[in-house]
Amino acid sequence: MRFGHEYRGQSRRAWRGASGVVIAALGFFLLGPGCDDSIDPAPPKQGNRTPESTILVQADSLAPQFYKLALNWLGSDPDGRVAGYNIRWQCIDTPGVANCTDPAPWLFTIATRATFILPVPEGTATYRFDVAAVDDEGAADPTPASQVFTFHNAAPVVAFQASTLPTVTLPAVTFYAEAVDPDSSANPNDHDAAGTIAQYRAWLDGDEANAHTVAAALSGVTFGPEDFQGRYGPRTVFLKAIDTGGQASAAVQHTWQVNAPPDQGILLVDDCRMGGFLEQFSDASYRNALDAVAPGRTVVMDVETIPRLGRADLEATLSLFHDVVWYTDADTVSSGALELARAGLDSLLSRGGNLLLVGGLAFGTRGAFGPEEPRFRDFFGIETVFRGPNGSTNFALSLEDTVHAVVTPAVTRFHFLSFGLRAVMECFGSRQDAVTRSLYFYPESTFVRATADTLQPFVNTVQFDVGVQHQLAAGGHTIYVSFPLGLPINDNLGENEAEIRELLRLAGMVP
């Protein structure tokens, strides 16, 4: 590509340009003061002679000019000193830039160099840079130095990220993008990089007027229920990338099937990733229990199969449901999904939804709720989370443990048959009020753990709860169980399914 520019020296001609261009451009990389420090002449001073201005044109200024340009300028004052500079960019011929004929304002700076990024949304544009030195008495150079540049901007190239395109979704989905910019820098050895991609824009079914635009750092554009407006079946998403010069790529598109959420649907979030037989058993426990009491109502979201987890995507999905079952069972390393879903779960419970959460990594040492933990403890009716001798809130499970239960009349105690390696649980104290109920617990002095000093093992001096039911002021119900309820117990591989069915009832999800 060929790029042109013209040096006009000092000119009295009044140029008109885009006021927004100057403001935006001067927001980038203004560097250091560099004013003339010459000594003021001794008074009395006869009048004031105006300063002179110069733009320093580098030897490589004849090379191609991209929309990101570094400039230097200087000033001199014959009877004083230069205090700063008025600078501006004037829009001469810039298609796609609004208000291109409006006068551009002068901006004052003490810097003598800066790097500017000019809007070039249509591939080519012409701008004029003016600089007027200002002396110590406030007089500006009446004949500013000027330089005219023609800028070029090649369109970026965008694609959907590999292996992230869905074939069937609910009306809540995120599309992930990646893009490169052919003229990402003036260095011919550094083209086709992503550093100058500024935004992604996506829209549904040709409706670009209602597009979503996000920062490129987010990589994904999320569509929620409000975007689908109750329209299901085949839908098509269009996606563009926009570089820092305002140039947009050609659009790529993808068509997929959008299904309506089931009536009174229950979202089952499978966040169990321990692998092998135990994971299969745990998965079957929850699915069988839901199929038995809520046939046709369950939508499974298997975290392990999601190519990329996103906060916005999880929030949009959770917004479709009033009832959510989320289990991690004996996993001891968080997938990150529960952390990303904080805002979505907060919204669910604040609007009176129901949540059954099973897993040992919600609170305390490895807690998923972070700074929001006090709020979520309140949601679950938990007064305090206990700590062991080492200060951790995560207690190692033992196959010798006996957990007391008050959920179903036929089962009052649980003995574990197996669980994942280093399975953990959290022990806590439930509130003592009319809307909170302890479901699973270790009575006082029954939770015994060896310590470094085996003569004084760790024993709970109060009841340690590991399961709690709570009714929210908004009308919803929560249940938190911190041990792996979905795994085999009591020499009866199906007994825990009966327990899960009863928890679904207590959580208000089924009659």
The tokens of 348 are what? 């669910």
Decide: residue 63, CB within 10 A, 0-12 exposed, 13-18 middle, 19+ buried. exposed
* Paired tokens of 507: 């959580």
Beta-bridge mates of residue 52:
76
Please give the single-letter amino acid code of residue 288: N
The answer to whether residues 195 and 184 touch, using CB atoms and an 8 Å cutoff, is yes
Bridge partners of 383? none
First and final C-alpha spacing in the chain: 71
- In sign, the C-alpha dihedral spanning 414, 420, 423, 428 is negative
Give per-residue pLDDT as tens, 167-212. Answer: 999 999 999 999 999 876 656 566 678 889 999 999 999 999 999 9
pLDDT at 45: 64
- pTM for the predicted model, two decimal places: 0.81
CATH architecture, range 5-152 = Sandwich (2.60)
Alpha carbon distance 37, 343 (integer Å) = 57
The reply to whether 266-506 shares the fold of 157-258 is no
Low-confidence stretches of the chain (pLDDT < 70) are 1-45, 58-64, 101, 184-191, 454
The alpha carbon of residue 173 and the mean position of all alpha carbons in its chain are separated, in whole angstroms, by 14
> How is the chain split into domains, by residue range?
5-152, 157-258, 266-506
Q: Could you tell me the sign of the dihedral formed by the alpha carbons of 23, 25, 27, 30, in that order?
A: negative
CB of 131 closer than 8 Å to CB of 143: no
Q: Are strands 477-481 and 354-359 parallel, antiparallel or unpaired?
A: parallel
Looking at CATH, the fold of the domain delimited by 266-506 is given as: Rossmann fold (3.40.50)
DSSP classification of residue 472:
-
Nearest C-alpha neighbor of 11 from the set 160, 110, 125, 131: 131
pLDDT value of residue 187 = 62
Residue-wise DSSP of 344-404: HHHHHHHTT-EEEEEES-SSGGG-SSGGGHHHHHHHHTEEEE---TTS-SEEEP-TT-EEE
Q: Tell me, what's the pLDDT at 275?
A: 82
CA atoms within 13 A on the CB side of 56: 10
157-258: what fold?
Immunoglobulin-like (2.60.40)
pLDDT of residue 43: 59
